[in-house]
Structure 1
Amino acid sequence: MTTATADEFETHRPRLFGLAYRMLGSADEAEDTVQDAYLRFSGADRGAIEYPAAWLAKVVTNLCLTRLTSARARREQYVGPWLPEPVVTSDGVLGPLESAEQRDAVSMAMLVLLERLTPTERAVYVLREAFAYGHREIAEALELSEANCRQLYRRAVQRVGEERARFEPSPGRQEELVRSFLTAARDGDLGGLEKLLAADVVWSSDGGGKVSAARRPIEGRDKVFRFLAGATRTFLAGVDFTAVEINGATALAAWEGDTLLSVTTFDVRDGLVARAWAVVNPDKLDFVRRQLARA
């Protein structure tokens, strides 16, 4: 590949990474997918590529579809809840997040919901919602009929939208609540933590069998509070908590020295924590740890 062609690919890399990450929920796999697209681009007949951006988006989308199909079997064998990998978004890695809608589109809540979709539904939804593709463009990328893409999109919107309607994407209130959670955690203020939890709060932890974590989501304020109280007494001595923008919203990072122990993201309803997702699997923290080390 010539230097000029490599430079051209680099202009597309951020957008391609954002597409792959939304499709896969894995930053490391998204990087690998973009690298595979780079290799295909380098070996392609440039004269046959009229619109490089569209050509690369199609390649990345289809590489992601292949990965998602094989990932389903692996995730069925995964130990405990499978959660997407957290990504620091304050550095623009997923593109500009200037509105509540853009932030919600990359939130942990949305990525978790996208796991409910079939790979093809997910591709249609992401291309339409996150990248504003028309149905004709989506049909060309996926080699499906336009009518089929419209049907897939309607089905995906219904499956995702019903759940998201329960929550209030309010960045200011979310930041305030997470910082209150941060203060209570630093101070060991269990009573303060309990007051921040909704009655029907659900706490999910992803340890992947690599570290200790709850094997099932914990449901209800009393059970979540007992879990947090036990964790505070057992594991959190010497742990430092910091606030960081993860997936478009303020989240909580836990450190022991230079070791990143966990990243916890929250969903807020009526000013309280309604959902929390704690990623503690060290493999899934590698990308965000590298991001924070560069900050």
Structure 2
Amino acid sequence: MDVKDCEVLLIIYEEQNLSKAAERLYITQPALTYRIRQLEKQFQLQIVQKEGKNIKFTSEGEHLVEYAKKTLQEEHRFKEFIANLKSEIQGTLRLGVSSHFTQYRLAPILHHFLQQYPKIQVFLNTSPNQEIFQSLQNGTFHVGIVRGTFNWVDQKYLINEEPFYLISNDEIHLEKLPELPRINYRSDTPPMNKFGYKPDTLLMEAIDGWWKDHFEVPPLITMNVNNYETCKQLVQHGLGYSIVPEICLKPQDRFFKYQMLFKNGQPLVRKTWLIYKESALELNLVKEFVQYIKSLNLHLPME
């Protein structure tokens, strides 16, 4: 089984559907079925079986998928080793980055970095934090940029610490907040993983803590949305106030902004971290990217 077979097998495993896998591979479904049959003939086992419109991997097929993953990881490591021997920094930098950081800050950072190192290619995956942690552990990603609070035992660097703001289309008196409609940001929340990270749950608890620090009655939540830009649009049309991080606010936004402070004067903040494994620094392109991020001002450039 060569590298291409491994890639094909992983795509089939990701899709669990031959039609969708064939579309991703730009081949016909019969051609893909033939390829599976050839692999089954080569290894003398059944890889998949039909399950309605989808397919299911047999236990032997699952083992073959694990073998394919390890084969591709070794292929990546070998290519990285060869690229690392060359004097000019080159190769593929594999990044896992939180969606909010990607949306609001990442583009100018990558642009400037790649101007300095034009022979580096970037493989970027915008992922939830727990997927970034797992991909760093198994070597799929070199570096991660994540937001929030979590347990990470290897290397991490605080990129910035941004405040939260209460925004409104009209000037408001904060003591009147319990009477005003809130447009509430709330993301989908998977269960806590082994890294102690429960996406946005700790943030929601912190916001709830700020509220209880100031008020004895619950907020008047009239809308729940899972996107900060949607929050801003609804606020802009006078449908209520919202609580958003500084990262999503632009100079041209015309909101009334109120920084969220606890009664003791401490601000409500969200931290953004650069995380990686110490062993990843053996690759020159990773070392240069980490040093580049550390050289940036805490208030990262926006374009």
Q: TM-score, normalised by structure 2?
A: 0.29
> When you count helix as a share of all residues, which structure comes out higher?
1
User: Which of structures 1 and 2 has the bigger CA Rg?
Assistant: 2
Q: TM-score, normalised by structure 1?
A: 0.30
> When you count strand as a share of all residues, which structure comes out higher?
2
